[in-house]
Amino acid sequence: METPQLSSLYQQLILEHYRNPRNKGELEGTSVEIHMANPICGDEVRLQLRIQAGQIEEAKFVGQGCSISQAAISMMTTLLHGCSLADAKILAECFTRMMHGDPDAAEDKRLKNLRALQGVSKFPVRIKCALIGFDALQEALKTHAKEDES
């Protein structure tokens, strides 16, 4: 159960990532780039990954939107640096399950600071905001896999 102090810390963490996003900007030497937009709320993101030998060397994003979408993708990109493609896929799936109310996913230690966004799952209209970066990540992983096969 979340205490008021923990809730306050989570809110501070979300605002910190929104006000000072990590890994925001253009990425040189991009392996894959995916654009996602939510026309309903105006969230927009372009995720860029540099992938080498099955690892994400670097992840950056360009975008605009609400505090939830921007904080979520900022936190996500910090976890992707040096992450294997398989682990990135698991991270995206786990976060998506947490956003859809799966309590087991919320306990997964791999989510780290992303667990601060668990409360968003109580607001169905905001779930898409939290997921836009992860939707872009899943699409980027699929695109990269297809390009690797060619």
User: Residue 36 region, left (φ>0) first, then alpha (ψ -120 to 50), else beta?
Assistant: beta
| CATH code for the domain in which residue 103 is found | 3.90.1010.10
The model's pTM is 0.94
55-78 b/e (C-beta count within 10 Å ≥ 16 → b): ebbbbbbebebbebbbbbbbbbbb
Could you tell me which residues are beta bridge partners of residue 24?
61
Which 8-state DSSP code applies to residue 116? Answer: G
Question: Taking Cα atoms as reference points, which of 98, 123, 100, 121 lies closest to residue 108?
Answer: 98
Cβ of 116: how many Cβ atoms within 10 Å? 22
pLDDT along the chain (150 residues), means of 10: 69 96 97 95 96 98 97 98 98 98 94 96 95 98 89
How far apart are the C-alpha atoms of 14 and 35, rounded to whole Å? 23
Print the SS3 string covering 89-120: HHHHHHHHHHHCCCHHHHCCHHHHHHHHHHHH
Provide the pLDDT for residue 6.
60
Domain containing 130 equals 4-149
Cβ of 8: how many Cβ atoms within 10 Å? 10
Instruction: Count up the domains in the chain and report the number.
Output: 1
Q: Coil, strand or helix: which one is 44?
A: strand
